[in-house]
Amino acid sequence: MAIKKQFLKTKDICKVTFKIPMEIGKEFETASVVGDFNNWDHNVHIMKKLKKDGSFSIVITLEKGKEYQFRYLLDGEHWANDNEADKHYTTHFGDSENSVLEL
């Protein structure tokens, strides 16, 4: 997985690009980024699949100075973390981890 942060100098926001590489993406039809920035709603940030290689990507604008927990949802049933996240937290259920983005 890949995360790219673009901090804007004139505003307190950051444009974050989330990408699922073709090695993982080619096995799935749909992907979403879900997290506390969208109330864990898989319908809010649906990723675009690139037809040429099967990867997925999306750009989301988030407020700077915060920490966001998130995960990827693939085909509506497979959860995945981002190995390039700033860190990982064990969920309150204790059975999995969320990726964490620090802005």
| Other CB atoms within 10 Å distance of the CB of residue 62 | 15
The pTM score is 0.92
Residues of the chain with pLDDT > 70, as a percent, come to 100
pLDDT of residue 88: 95
Lookup: tokens for 63: 């407020």
Contact call for residues 14 and 6 (beta carbons, < 8 A): yes
Cβ neighbours for 97, distance < 8 A, ≥ 6 positions apart: 81, 88, 89, 90, 91
- The domain tally of the chain equals 1
Spatial distance between the Cα atoms of 4 and 60, rounded to a whole number of angstroms: 11
Query: Where is pLDDT greater, at 91 or 46?
Result: 46
- What's 46's domain CATH number? 2.60.40.10
Spatial distance between the Cα atoms of 15 and 97, rounded to a whole number of angstroms: 24
Q: Could you read off the pLDDT of 54-90 as tens digits, one per residue?
A: 999 999 999 999 999 999 999 999 999 999 999 999 9
Spatial distance between the Cα atoms of 50 and 100, rounded to a whole number of angstroms: 25
Structural domain containing residue 56? 2-102
